[in-house]
Structure 1
Amino acid sequence: MNTTPNIHTMIVAAGRGSRFGAVIAKQYTKINEQTLLQHSVTRLASSGYINHCYLVIAADDEVASTLTFALPIDYVIGGAERWQSVRAGVSAILESGANKSDLILIHDAARPAVPTEDIDSVITAAMSEPYGAILAAPVADTLKLSAALPKQHFDDSSEFSDSDNDYIKTTVNRQHMWQAQTPQVFRIGELSRLLDYINEHQLHITDEASAFEYLDLPIRLVSGSRQNIKLTFPDDAIVLAAIMTAQA
């Protein structure tokens, strides 16, 4: 195994962020006078391992090319789904001459507060793994599994519709439960192979580590900071602004 691989870096910024509910794509939301995408690139640039970044953007994106970034940038056009965007970026990096044993670091544009030490830690961990490593945080909150309450629990005058019937079914044991974060770092040849597998079998994945899970391939968990939150809902912007101000 190549224990001193080259590090290739990619930020996925082709999504629309529908849950965020804004008119603009959420990666262009501004916090402290810069977009999330600019902040995320700057944070990656703080790592001594990273000196270049691929940005995977939507075909109709007219914003990214107007921004200035803390790293040299190459642009790649993404797909309709996240995994398709990642696959496009992986293909571009391999076509540029990357070795299949090199590492690819994939980060979300909407995580602009990842600490430098966490970036370095997940890269270092991935260097000694055959497949890769991801940042994640152990689940601290009590988890509840929900289910719709059977209709016999309501009388005919109940004001609740079927869509409102979401009630606690049970408490989920949070031992061994982790919240996945990014960056996620993988051997680029292995990731490419697994994304081809996902495409061929029309499988659904929510992050790149999920592709490895389908074939029961081990991906190491690296404990990351709880400062590394993702902008998903409008209220998250307030929290992120406070975190990034404190980090400055």
Structure 2
Amino acid sequence: MNQGAEAVWAVIPAAGQGVRMDDPTPKQYHPLAGRAVLQWAVEAMLGVTAVRGVMVALAPDDRHWQGLAAAAHPRVHTCTGGAQRAASVRAGLTALRERGADPGDAVLVHDAARPAVTVTAIERLLTIAASEADGGLLALPVRDTLKMDAGDGHIASTIARDGLWQAQTPQLFPLGRLQEALDQADASVTDEAAAMELLGARPRLVEGEVGNIKYTYAGDRQWLAEQLRGRVGDTQ
């Protein structure tokens, strides 16, 4: 991937069910500050001028997507995702290729459950990592002391935090290389950077933002809603 990449695309895997939420509605469709979590995530990608199109990978039985404004946007497309994240991202990449994307194009992969990422952060990632052959990702240096659980609720050891970063999304990679990485990786990989690392890649760490947290627990809702209030209201 380099500055001459033909285009930039985005993939959002949104086929998950959010089992930690204890809610029959998948968490990507929970309302936050007047919009669904997924709507916020899609709008962030659309706010980046360089992004040619956004591919959203949905569950086969999704009953909520058509109710979002994003469903009618001309730069937004959908495909059927899989039971695990890696399968959904792979499906999204394949669908982009079918729409004319090239292996040398850049692709941003973003969590459906990260609604508060800013256009500024995404553009910073593109500026810094677009010239990197191995791509890059938003991340934050770990601030807190880390403890290893012995498995019984007691501390086994303290882990040095020096050099540790907490991965965020979006993550940016050459489309073709990411396809190769996901084809070879175990389906259980939790992010695209891990799959790329298995190919020997060393993605660039680009400083993200504290507010770009993943909506994981019910307690995250109020905090994220506060972050999102006051942002521009119209889908771009």
TM-score (norm 1): 0.88
SS at match of 2:197: helix
Matched, 1:169 2:166: no
2:115 — aligned with what?
112
Asked if 2 retains the 8 angstrom alpha-carbon contact of 1:135 and 1:221, the reply is yes
Q: For 2:93, which of 90, 95, 99 is the aligned residue?
A: 90
Asked if 2 retains the 8 angstrom alpha-carbon contact of 1:37 and 1:109, the reply is yes
1:52 — aligned with what?
53
Q: What stretches of structure 1 move > 3 A for 4+ residues in a row?
A: none
Matched, 1:77 2:64: no
CA separation in 2, counterparts of 1:245 and 1:65?
A: 24
Structure 1 unaligned residues grouped into runs of 5+: 149-164
Structure 1 residue 219: Cα displacement? 0.5
2:218 — aligned with what?
234
Structure 1 residue 4: Cα displacement? 2.6
CA separation in 1, counterparts of 2:119 and 2:77?
A: 22
Asked if 1 retains the 8 angstrom alpha-carbon contact of 2:14 and 2:111, the reply is yes
SS at match of 1:234: coil
SS at match of 1:108: coil
Q: How many residues end up aligned between the 2 structures?
A: 229
CA separation in 2, counterparts of 1:89 and 1:95?
A: 10
1:244 — aligned with what?
228
SS at match of 2:92: helix
CA separation in 2, counterparts of 1:221 and 1:246?
A: 29
Structure 1 residue 51: Cα displacement? 4.2
Alignment-mate amino acid for residue 164 of structure 2: M
Q: For 1:215, which of 192, 196, 199 is the aligned residue?
A: 199
Task: Tell which deviates more after alignment, 63-72 or 238-247.
Answer: 63-72
SS at match of 1:52: strand
SS at match of 1:83: helix
Structure 1 residues 100 and 197: CA distance shift in structure 2, 3 A: same
CA separation in 2, counterparts of 1:144 and 1:33?
A: 37
Quote the RMSD (CA, aligned, Å).
Answer: 1.5
Structure 1 residue 52: Cα displacement? 2.3
